[in-house]
Every structure is written in C-alpha cells, then in structure tokens.
Structure 1
C-alpha cells in the first residue's frame, strides 16, 4: 500500500531541516578549498535560474563586500547573450540538480576557455568533479528551501576564502538564527489567517533584500498555484507598479539595516496611504551584516508560502503535475 502523502509535507520537513543542514555545511571546508580556483579573479559572474538566480543575486553582494567585482546573470542570458569574457574572469554556477539546459550551456561555454569556475549544486548532481561544491540532498518538494539557503552559505564561504570580508565571523551565528526563524512558523500561520493573498501579493526589498523579495514571490507562486505574487526592488516599485496596488492587497517588505532601509520605510508610508496591507519581515537581527541577512530572512517567507498553500487547500509538493492541463503544458518544453 502506497504511503499517504500529507499535502506540503515534503516542503514542511525540508524547511525544518535547514538549521542542521547549514551547521553541517559550515563545518565542512570544501567550499573554501574550491575557492582557490577563483582566488585571483578580479571579476566573477554568478549564474543561475529561478531560485538559483536569487541565490546568485545574494551572492554578488557577498563577493562585492569581499572586494571582487561580481555580477549575477540569469543562465538563459549568460548562455545565449554572454558578456565579453576576460582571461581572468571567474564563474560560479548555482544549480539544484546540475541538469538544467541553460545552466549546463553556461558552464560549458565558459569552461571552453577557462578553468576558473565553481559549481554549487546538490548532492547527487548531474555535474560532478573538480570545482563542484555540494549543498544538501536533493529535495522531494519542488518548492526548494534548504538547497537555497545551503547555496547562500556556500557562497559566503567562498567569499570569506577569497577576500576575508568584515562579516566573516557572523557566519557562525547563521544556524542559530535560522533555527529561530524556523521556530516562527506558528506565528507566520497566525499572521496570514485574515490576510488576503489572492489574486496578487507583492514582495519588496532593496540591495541584498531584493533577492529575498524575488524568492518570497516565487515560493508563494510555486506553493499556492493561485497567487500571482510579484517581487520588486525597493526603487522599482515606485516607478509604475505602485499605482496598480489596490487597497487591501498584501505587500511584504523585507527590512534590514543598510542603505535600502530608508527607502523601504518610504515605500511603507506610501502603501499606508493607499490602504494596502503591509507585512514587515526581518528575522535577522540588526547586527547581522546586510549581506548575510537573506539566509535568515527568507525562512519566514518559506513559511508564508507553506501556510498560504494550506489555507488555500493546495498541495505545495504537487507542482500541478496531477492536473492534466498543467502536466500537458510542462510536456511542451525541457528545462
């Protein structure tokens, strides 16, 4: 008899596993050792798709704070519209499984002329060998959580090996802070009980928090299927999107001390005048460096996605593969 699946059970279990997984990664020096391949690179591209691109966005700020020119690029664009490479450029590819078409094309195109690359990927990845740094076991839920926070920890380890940034000692706090965020699950559930999420919710963040806003929107879409969530950078929302936000719609603001905080407060004030429902998220303490905060601040948004899926009666683990129209749609392309 087949085991009965609890809707969203895989997502919930993996979400809860993150503190232990991140502690394990921090006790392993494979990322620091692999970083020697990039140590003399003045410019590094970070490449990924979806959640992996959001990890790349967070990673570019980590590397910049370590003294490296760093740019996050979507894999499709990097593979099909590559920049003009320099001999001393480096590449960090982020991929959960190492199997995505344009991620592999990005690596293959770059590796033809250079060995200055790393791949941050899950255990059992389709990409193996020198330059590969592992995160966590492959997730059963398509709504990725631990592989994302794990990839960001790996990026932080690479940054500390390359440049010894000011925040390197803060890495040791991460598992405990993530545990506190994981423990906030019931509070997140209570906070959305009377909140309207359908048909659209918005997420806003500036600087490193932009990556968190994008990821929060993607998680809510993936887990609920019914919410057209939008992620915005803190300045961009003021240049057009603000006028489409209606009274009562939910807007999640990711806050963290840093250059983006004042503008985030101005966005909150503007939303208040409209009558939007504003939720503020900051799980990371004020004294955690802004570039590390995405590892912590994304966890409440993962909970938000999970609890919203339960509120709406959706199995977050299904990815709509059990619905004929969506299964047919997914058969029309390869990832």
Structure 2
C-alpha cells in the first residue's frame, strides 16, 4: 500500500486542527469590531480566505473589505485611525503582505497578523498562530484554521456552524468529474462561492498542473461562456437560493457541455470537496500533489529566481 501524500494527510487533518483553533484561548485584544472598518489582506489562498471572511462579516453587520496584498501595498486605500487591519500570511515571508501591514500601521490602523506556528514574522504585536506550518506548497489546513480564527472574531456563533460539520463534509458531495491533461476545466461560484471556485482552481493548478480557470457566476455569463465547448468541463459551486444558476444550467445543456454542480449552503463543505477533487485528479493523472513540479529542474530553477 502506497504511503499517502502529505497533501492527503493535511486534507484529512482539518477537522482536528480547526477544532483546536476554535478551542484555543482568545487574545484579549481580539474583540468584535463594532463600528470599525476592517481590512482583510492576503495573497493566494489567504486572499481567498480574506474574501470569504469579508463577505460573511458584512452579512453579520460589520464593515469589512478584502484586499490583495499587492494592491494594498501598491495603492493603499484611504485609511484612518481606529480602522482594523488583519494581515494573513501563513509562512510570514510574503513581502507585499509585510509592506501592506507597514503602510496600514503608519496610517494609524490597528494591525493584527494571522500566521503559522513558528512563522518568522514577529514585528506585529497582535499576532495569532493559527495552526501548524504547512509541509507542502498546496495549502489546505492553514486555510481552514485561518478561517476558524477569522470567523471567531466577530463573536457571532452562527458563523462557526460549518466547522462542526467538517468530518461529515469530508465525505460529502457529488462524484468527481474525470479530468485529462488537456481538459478545459472551468469553475464557477456565486457570491462568496466565487472565491471557493478560485481557491479550487488554485489547488488544481498547483498540485495537479491542470489548466483550470475560475469565474464569478455573472461574470461567466457575460462573455467567458462563449469559450466553453468540446473538451470543457464546468464545475459550479452553487447556492440553491440563487436562481441565476438556472441560466447557467440551461446554457451549458444547450451547448452540450458537461456540468457538475456542487450545490450547498455550506461554503466550507464546498472547499473540502474541491481539495478532495484535486487529490483525485492527481491520482488519475499520476501526479504527486506534494511536488509542485519541483522534480523538474526547469521549474525548480525558475522558482529559485522568483522573489515574493
């Protein structure tokens, strides 16, 4: 029997690690930001976490904005004293997230850092280690533990409900579509589920080297729909409460494009399905999800020349 990949172990570890994050002592400074504007800032998976959290915070009555670290650093938004900035950096080494936090602090914003255990970024006094450091490049458990901390922050217990279902969610969902190396894989989501779709695309690109592209539901209908056809598979992270999906179903049926609908009101269950879909795609394509092409000298050299 083959030893499971680190990616697979990390996916299955999430219920335990998220429960630990929810049970950890709450810092005295981590108060619901009533009447305060909050900026949630990150890159990659952390940007997707920021987007989902900001959507949920706004739904709970808070003034929350999500920003990509690069955009925040290059052209900071108007800020004022009394604002809250929460900066997400699992390994603590992303230069644009560091620059963004510095800009916010200089503007008088109260800043906080969510990072992994043992992260070298220690210059922010308000600092939470969300969970253990990831041991592979395709992040999974750091997303769920970061989300657990972010959704504890507003003090609204209803936001935490998806974490209580995580064990069941790891067994939930439709059958995974078959993906070939040349498949045109299109992922869609409505509302906060657009960022579930974008996180799914990132995992498939990183771990399975799939040419996956993601769109918001309405964005897809306003142009990219024309690009799907023979060789395409469309996956929809949908809400049954959103009637606009009827247009997507009808369009794809008419152009005879396969459509897999991952329908749920539980955004976290959809994320976990996407992580498992990535694992299954790696298995079918014979790819080790831990490698991220580090076994190819060209990609390894190219990565070494990049600066983050």
On whether the aligned pair clears a TM of 0.5, the verdict is yes
The Cα shift of 1:50 comes to: 0.6
**Where in structure 2 are the equivalents of 1:1-335 lying within 5 Å?**
6=3, 9-30=5-26, 33-36=28-31, 39-40=33-34, 42-128=36-122, 130-160=125-155, 164=156, 168-169=157-158, 171=160, 173-184=161-172, 191-192=176-177, 194-196=178-180, 198-225=182-209, 227-258=210-241, 261-282=242-263, 284=264, 286=265, 293-335=266-308
1: CA distance between counterparts of 2:41 and 2:112?
Answer: 10
**SS of the residue aligned with 2:229?**
coil
The Cα shift of 1:174 comes to: 3.0
2: CA distance between counterparts of 1:34 and 1:257?
Answer: 38
| 1:152–1:295 contact (8 Å) kept in structure 2 | no
2: CA distance between counterparts of 1:91 and 1:14?
Answer: 29
| 1:153–1:295 contact (8 Å) kept in structure 2 | no
| 1:247–1:277 contact (8 Å) kept in structure 2 | no
| 1:122–1:147 contact (8 Å) kept in structure 2 | yes
**SS of the residue aligned with 1:247?**
coil
| 1:211–1:294 contact (8 Å) kept in structure 2 | no
The Cα shift of 1:40 comes to: 4.9
Q: What TM-score results when the alignment is normalised by the length of structure 1?
A: 0.85
1: CA distance between counterparts of 2:253 and 2:180?
Answer: 16
Q: What TM-score results when the alignment is normalised by the length of structure 2?
A: 0.92
2: CA distance between counterparts of 1:18 and 1:101?
Answer: 27
| 2:80–2:107 contact (8 Å) kept in structure 1 | no
2: CA distance between counterparts of 1:334 and 1:238?
Answer: 36
**SS of the residue aligned with 1:191?**
coil
1: CA distance between counterparts of 2:187 and 2:68?
Answer: 20
- Residue-pair matches, total: 307
**SS of the residue aligned with 2:282?**
helix
2: CA distance between counterparts of 1:40 and 1:178?
Answer: 29
1: CA distance between counterparts of 2:183 and 2:258?
Answer: 14
Contiguous gaps of at least 5 residues in structure 1: 287-292
1: CA distance between counterparts of 2:220 and 2:193?
Answer: 14
The Cα shift of 1:257 comes to: 4.1
| 2:134–2:142 contact (8 Å) kept in structure 1 | yes
CA displacement 1:275-330 (0-9 Å, x = unmatched) = 11111113x5x5xxxxxx32221000000111101111111111112211111211
**SS of the residue aligned with 2:98?**
helix
CA displacement 1:242-270 (0-9 Å, x = unmatched) = 00011341111012244xx2112321221
